[in-house]
Structure 1
Amino acid sequence: MAVDTATLLVSCPDQQGLVAKIANFIYANGGNIIHADHHTDLEAGLFLSRIEWQLQGFNLPRHLINEAFGAIASPLQAKWKLHFSDTVPKVAIWVSKQDHCLYDLLWRIKSKELKAEVGLIISNHPDLAPIAQQFNIEYHHLPITKENKKEQELKQLELLKNAEINLVILAKYMQVLSSDFIKEFPTVINIHHSFLPAFIGAKPYHQAYSRGVKIIGATAHYVTQDLDAGPIIEQDVVRISHRDTVQDLIRKGKDLEKIVLARGVRLHLQNRVLVYGNRTVVFG
């Protein structure tokens, strides 16, 4: 049987002895480290680390770990987050009319490939409600216009709060979130149908076709106030040729979007992504 684990994601100014100090905190409390990965950004002068250990035999009860580690981390000017493997995050999936990413995520969650619970689905169109019904998930149709955007986002935030949502996944939700929304709920992953930073904004496949590129890509990234410019979690590409039409690019791109979004969500759910500035370290 799998043993429950705890994971620390840590970032702090680089200095000598950091690995030893973090590892010794776990060792001194009877913990068995099963994964440790570290990275130093020399240009930024930052040390970044992910360390995971078994809770079985660990001397500190869960509710005291954060405070106890803080006694070590605070003098190091560290930022850290603590996660437990048996915690199942609640996610909300937002969609418009395209269903390929939605179906893919729901099947992966249903088969327990992704460890999450879908609390609700939100859409600015009614088209995908039958899918939500098929999976017995709440579906909220909130049409968005320039005139009602602020009002609808307040409703969205209320729904997320009431459902205790930890993560929003934009699975081809063809709307731009406002800065006010992102300030209130910053943990949002988007799938963009290009290899960012190329071809941002609308109709990237049409842009790629017009440019005559030989590869197209997809990017899973965290959402920020800057359009399609948030920290990148995962990317991939597929080759195309001069024989491919725009529709061929869209077809190939949809297959890629599903895979890249699922990878990005999985990495987030496994607490393998550490954001600093507008960059990420993705621990293997």
Structure 2
Amino acid sequence: MCMGFGCNAAGIIGCRIIDSPRERLIAMITNNFVPCNGRFPTMIAIITMFFVGSAAGAFSSVLSAAILAGVIVLGVLMTLLISKVLSATVLKGVPSSFTLELPPYRKPQIGKVIVRSIFDRTLFVLGRAIVVAAPAGLIIWLMANISVGDATLLAHCSGFLDPFAQIIGMDGVILLAFILGFPANEIVVPIIIMAYMAEGSLLDISDLSVLRDLLVSHGWTWINAVSTMLFSLMHWPCSTTCLTIKKETQSVKWTVASFLVPTVTGIVVCFLFTTVARAFL
């Protein structure tokens, strides 16, 4: 779980230390509820723009950290909850004990550690990221630059998704950004900016006040902000994580399950939050 805060794919690889196949699968399926460093920038930006913007000085940093900590705790609680549900349903079994043996101390071989880390972990993850990221980047560019009628494919797709997205507290552009952000969570916000500004390439706005004005001008409220954060916390794993799950489990079925469980959970949570929030407005 802790390794997932850096990268969910690394967290999946870390599940190798779990001896029980059943508990290893549960850990892999629920690992995505832990926010990786690709989702932290989105959540921090939303917190700063919509919930901490009026605060000043040290209080702003404390409030931002408190809200982000609350989001992380929610992710951990969802991990425990879904793990409990899985262990009581499709992955029933007898809980095993966890024993960690300390190996005998040996003098570290720095060169060997560096080489094995690069080839076994870094290049493995980067290779799988490139396999999906390159074609996905081409798809995003084509959708933003090919027009059908008086609108781009990006606009048509976001319009198609809008009715469903409104039900879960977002809009079609936000939901489409998450879908196109499948290769890497870091590009979700740039895709949203690109779609709202009707530009043909990914954009980055470093000034959060300007970005907030852009989002508000396109109908964002605090409900949209919270729903986007919740969906960012609880939605499908990125492409690299999915490929890693496939390699570790050697099963398409469990890879699909690892994709669907957080996605369905995120949709349900966003729907419930949106329904309750709008009822009290």
TM-score when scaled to structure 2?
0.24
Q: Which gives a bigger RCO, structure 1 or 2 (Cα 8 Å, sep 6+)?
A: 2
Q: Return the structure number with greater strand share.
A: 1
TM-score when scaled to structure 1?
0.24
Q: Return the structure number with greater helix share.
A: 2
